[in-house]
Amino acid sequence: MKAESYSLRTALMLFILLPLVLLTSLAGWYGLQGLERQVRSRMQEDIELIARAIRVPLSDAMARGREGSVARTLRSALQISRVYGAYVYDANGHQIAATGPQSPTKRRKAVQLVMKGQRQGEFERIHGKPFFSYFVPLTDSGGRITGLLQITRKGIDFQEYISEVRYQALGLLAFTAFLLAIVIFYGHHRAFGRPMRNIRDSLVLVGRGERHHRVPLQGPREIQELSLGINTMLDKLAEHADVLAEQQALQEQLALRLRQSEKMAAIGRLAAGVAHELGTPLSVIDGRAQRAMRSVADASLASALGDIRREVERVSSIIRQLMDFSRNNPLRRQSVTGDRMLRSVLAMLSDEFNRHKIDCRIEAAGQSPFFHVDRLRIEQALSNVVRNALQAADRRVRIGWFESHANKGFVVEDDGPGVDSELRQRIFEPFFTTKAVNEGTGLGLAVAHAALEAHGGYIQIDRSPDLGGARMRIVLPDQMEEV
């Protein structure tokens, strides 16, 4: 079941932008409250200033009984846009002059205000509408209260201005939040989103099998350190995978060699038994045919006896190969040069080369290395490999040696048709041959392979780059003792 999750961008919005907007809103609300108080006080002060400005002319006009001057002064105050109405009361609270709508103040209240003799401002509702009134006592030259001045202003003026301020503050807050969201989105994309997508895409490619792909080192230092850690992990996994593949290949090779060895051992035991059972009867047949040839005068009969002896020799040769294949004697190692062993093999096979008119030469650069081997078995293996090349060649066979830091051995090349890739493993199996009947037993390369395995070596088969035929590399481990 997939766990519910949210993106880093959502987390930034929830845990950074939202708290920041809330804190900004809270701070803005407190600031707006203070601003509203200041605005309200400032608007009240405007009315107070107007009232103070016309107070002296009104007091003087009332002291002289000039009602016309009182009315003109009130009308001049009404021309100011912020003033809604202006009213004058006598000492008994009777309204004696008014400009604007009907006075909202009752007579009793006016008398109380006149008696107090103090300046006062207050809000009141008239017909459901808010108004702000400011009261200023009027005095004569002796300081006695002679009346009261009331100037009003619509309360909606306060509310409209404060609402406008609120809307502006909310708009500024929304615009600021929008800018912050854009900054967070863009910053997330540049600093985190794009590098993380690169990491995700790289891991997807690795998961699809591109083992050598690595995460690019981009973005902030922390993202680069994460990418470097992922690359290090991928390198380690690749190393472990390579080691595991090598171990699996080695195990498969060992298992194959074990099965091959078990099969070879079984065939060897069978071959040893067959060779032992056939050896004595063949010796008897060859001996009696030889004695019969001495006493037979008929030429045709003597020729037939000679054919019998040649076939017996051929069967005996096969038996010797079977005995060689089944041999499991301890190795008798000695130090001998490769040149010496190759010349010994060429001497043994010189008649066959001459008979088939094949040019065989030793071609090798440098000094011949020493081999610490069982000389008889290695020479036998070499002779079988060289004989196989002789039988496959058209005109040329070339033999030589090689030496590297880890191993050394011999190279046998011919100009024949070569060995198909699908047959390169099977040609070392006993009794497997691609030659015609009576041309091969299929034991020569099997004997050579067994001898090399006993020495810890092996045979590699590929195509000769120079002659075009088969090239067999007889590889032996570097186990030379000091000579």
Domains of the chain, earliest start first: 41-171 (3.30.450.20), 214-328 (1.10.287), 331-477 (3.30.565.10)
> Per-residue pLDDT for 304 more than 70?
yes
* Euclidean distance between CA atoms 305 and 172, whole angstroms: 125
The secondary structure of residue 422, as a DSSP letter, is: G
Q: What is the 3-state secondary structure (H, E, C) of 322-388?
A: HHHHHCCCCCCEEEEEHHHHHHHHHHHHHHHHHHHCCEEEECCCCCCCEEEEEHHHHHHHHHHHHHH
Tokens of 61: 């006009």
Using CB atoms within 10 A of its CB, is residue 141 exposed (0-12), middle (13-18) or buried (19+)?
exposed
Q: What is the mean pLDDT of residues 450-472?
A: 88
φ/ψ of 296, rounded to 5, equals: -95, 130
The secondary structure of residue 148, as a DSSP letter, is: E
Using CB atoms within 10 A of its CB, is residue 404 exposed (0-12), middle (13-18) or buried (19+)?
exposed
pTM of the model: 0.44
393: number of Cβ within 10 Å = 23
196 vs 335, more confident: 335
251: number of Cβ within 10 Å = 10
> Pairing between strand 85-90 and 95-99?
antiparallel
Using CB atoms within 10 A of its CB, is residue 200 exposed (0-12), middle (13-18) or buried (19+)?
exposed
* Euclidean distance between CA atoms 256 and 101, whole angstroms: 117
Alpha-carbon torsion 278, 283, 288, 294, what sign?
positive
Query: How far is residue 198 from each of residues 6, 195, 233, measured CA to CA in Å?
Result: 19, 5, 17
* Euclidean distance between CA atoms 161 and 169, whole angstroms: 12
Q: What angle do CA 171, 174, 176 make, to 5 degrees?
A: 105
Using DSSP, state whether 432 is helix, strand or coil: coil
pLDDT digits (tens, 9 = 90+) for 7-54: 766 777 777 777 877 887 788 777 777 777 777 777 777 777 887 788
pLDDT digits (tens, 9 = 90+) for 136-170: 888 877 778 778 888 787 766 666 777 777 788 88
Tokens of 203: 């891991």
Query: How far is residue 251 from each of residues 164, 226, 460, measured CA to CA in Å?
Result: 85, 37, 19
Single-letter amino acid code for the residue at 39? V
pLDDT digits (tens, 9 = 90+) for 265-299: 776 677 667 766 777 787 888 788 888 888 877 77
Task: Specify whether the CB–CB gap between 43 and 158 falls below 8 A.
Answer: yes
pLDDT digits (tens, 9 = 90+) for 373-424: 988 888 888 988 998 889 889 899 999 999 887 789 999 999 988 887 777 7
pLDDT digits (tens, 9 = 90+) for 50-70: 877 887 888 887 777 777 787
Q: How confident is the model at residue 482 (pLDDT cuts 50, 70, 90)?
A: very low
Bridge partners of residue 125, in order along the sequence: 130
Task: Specify whether the CB–CB gap between 115 and 99 falls below 8 A.
Answer: no
